[in-house]
């Protein structure tokens, strides 16, 4: 909770910044687009966590969803890359500067269709970044064709029905060893902001598959990614509380009904179970849950799987503390002796 000095001044967070200073440009998305709701939650989460905005790297591909990185934290650097290949660009940025707090925003087309390959390898490497999929089951920016996450049997306005099974990006992520896997809904702001704060606290890829209705092309009767459908079908598996490491509150909770998980930075995420003793730290159980949800076509949300201890890619490389990007000629050009030695071996 932020200390308010001047009563007229807006409240500020622990680094002394107001929520305004985490804002971005005015959105150019359709009024009511689910993506804009997510943008607001991202802004809020970065503000509440007191992340230094200039350390934020906002990576995205191409799509309406990918545009949103311009709409938050404009004191951070943004990179709107090419379609479906943002994970590689984010990986490169993190290699150059592991001090960045990187958030990738992508769409279901950007990730599950053209981007499936890079998505797989980002997860395998466990690149330390938050990866948000603004999932509306269609290609919004190209006017509403089905993406690879379109639900079986869902219908476009044109009447076309999706006859291929959707790719469950959460299941895929868990399968590939991702240590923070959540599904949410842009209509469920309270849950979403908690999950985002947890993602900021996690070290490694934090995946959020957020159902985010496309009001223009996929929000009608018969769509299974509409606000209406999602609202009616959402089944949260937990009530999610988040206790940041920098806040010293001790509320007791009942371990029987609530699971507490300590994250990399010391923050704690509290999962009040709404589904009889579901253990979010059990990989097998998580996969089973998703399979069951798929078979029953249930729309489950919450922190599906969490495993905070897994090593991320950068620590495997044992990089120096100074970011590689900060190294200068002094540190990176070998001395004359080194060259002489190399030459000697070639004589």
Q: Which residues pair with 234 in a beta bridge?
A: 299
Q: Smaller CB distance to ligand TPP: residue 110 or 151?
A: 110
The CB-of-258 to ligand TPP minimum distance in angstroms stands at 35
C-alpha–C-alpha distance, residues 85 and 77, integer Å: 18
Contact 129, 89 (CB under 8 A): no
Q: Smaller CB distance to other proteins: residue 77 or 268?
A: 77
36 touching ligand TPP, by CB under 6 A: no
Binding residue for ligand SF4 (CB under 6 A) from 42, 171, 199, 215? 215
Map residues 210-239 to x or -, x wherever contact with ligand TPP holds by CB under 6 A. Answer: ----x-------------------------
315 touching other proteins, by CB under 8 A: no
The CB-of-325 to other proteins minimum distance in angstroms stands at 3
Which residue do the tokens 């009447």 mark?
A: 159
106 touching ligand SF4, by CB under 6 A: no
Site for a copy of itself, residues 162 to 181, rule: CB under 8 A: 163-165, 167-168, 171-172, 175-177
C-alpha–C-alpha distance, residues 86 and 106, integer Å: 8
Question: How far from the centroid of its chain's Cα atoms is residue 29's Cα?
Answer: 20
Count of residues of this chain found to bind a copy of itself when the rule CB under 8 A is applied = 29
Residue 186's binding partner among Mg ion, ligand SF4, ligand TPP, none (Cβ under 5 to 8 angstroms by kind) is none
DSSP state letter for 53: G
133 touching other proteins, by CB under 8 A: no
Rounded to 10°, the helix 116-125/86-96 angle is: 30
Sole window of 49-57, 130-138, 326-334, 335-343 interacting with ligand TPP (rule: CB under 6 A): 130-138
Sole window of 186-194, 202-210, 241-249, 335-343 interacting with other proteins (rule: CB under 8 A): 335-343
C-alpha–C-alpha distance, residues 50 and 107, integer Å: 26
Q: Which residues pair with 272 in a beta bridge?
A: 239, 258
149 touching ligand SF4, by CB under 6 A: no
Q: How many CA atoms lie within 13 A of 101 on its CB side?
A: 21
Q: State the Cα torsion 261-266-267-269 to the nearest 10°.
A: 0
Q: Which residues pair with 155 in a beta bridge?
A: 161
Residue 311's binding partner among Mg ion, other proteins, ligand TPP, none (Cβ under 5 to 8 angstroms by kind) is none
User: Furthest-apart CA pair in the chain: how many Å?
Assistant: 77
Binding residue for other proteins (CB under 8 A) from 2, 18, 97, 258? 97
Closest CA to 168 of 62, 291, 284: 291
Alpha helices in 219-304 (DSSP H): 227-233, 283-296
Q: Smaller CB distance to ligand SF4: residue 109 or 244?
A: 109
Q: Which residues lie near a copy of itself (CB under 8 A)?
A: 113-118, 120-121, 124-125, 148, 163-165, 167-168, 171-172, 175-177, 283-284, 287-288, 291-292, 313, 316
């Amino acid at each position: 909770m932020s200390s308010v000095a001047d009563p007229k001044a807006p409240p500020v967070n622990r680094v002394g910044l107001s929520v305004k200073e985490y804002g971005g440009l005015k959105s150019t998305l359709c009024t009511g687009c689910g993506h804009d709701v997510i943008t607001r939650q991202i802004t809020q989460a970065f503000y509440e966590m007191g992340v230094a905005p200039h350390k934020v790297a906002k990576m995205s591909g191409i799509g309406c969803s990918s545009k949103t990185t311009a709409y938050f934290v404009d004191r951070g650097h943004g990179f709107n890359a090419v379609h479906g290949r943002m994970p590689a660009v984010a990986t490169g940025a993190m290699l150059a500067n592991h001090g960045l707090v990187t958030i990738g925003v992508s769409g279901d087309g950007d990730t599950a269709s053209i981007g499936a390959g890079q998505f797989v390898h980002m997860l395998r490497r466990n690149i330390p970044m938050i990866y948000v999929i603004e999932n509306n089951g269609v290609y919004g920016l190209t006017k509403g064709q089905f993406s690879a996450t379109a639900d079986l049997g869902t219908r476009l306005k044109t009447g076309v029905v999706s006859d291929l099974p959707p790719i469950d990006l959460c299941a895929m992520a868990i399968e590939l060893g991702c240590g923070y896997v959540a599904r949410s809904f842009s209509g469920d702001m309270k849950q979403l902001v908690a999950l985002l704060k947890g993602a900021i606290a996690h070290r490694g890829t934090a995946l959020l598959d957020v159902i985010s209705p496309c009001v223009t092309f996929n929000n009608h009767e018969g769509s299974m990614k509409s606000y209406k459908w999602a609202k009616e079908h959402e089944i949260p598996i937990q009530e999610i509380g988040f206790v940041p490491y920098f806040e010293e509150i001790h509320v007791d909770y009942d371990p029987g009904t609530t699971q507490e998980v300590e994250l990399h930075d010391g923050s704690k995420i509290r999962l009040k179970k709404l589904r009889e003793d579901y253990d979010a730290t059990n990989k097998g159980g998580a996969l089973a849950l998703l399979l069951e949800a798929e078979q029953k076509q249930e729309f489950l949300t919450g922190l599906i799987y969490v495993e905070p201890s897994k090593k991320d890619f950068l620590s495997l490389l044992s990089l120096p503390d100074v970011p590689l990007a900060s190294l200068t000629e002094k540190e990176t050009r070998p001395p004359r002796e080194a060259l002489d030695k190399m030459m000697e071996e070639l004589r």
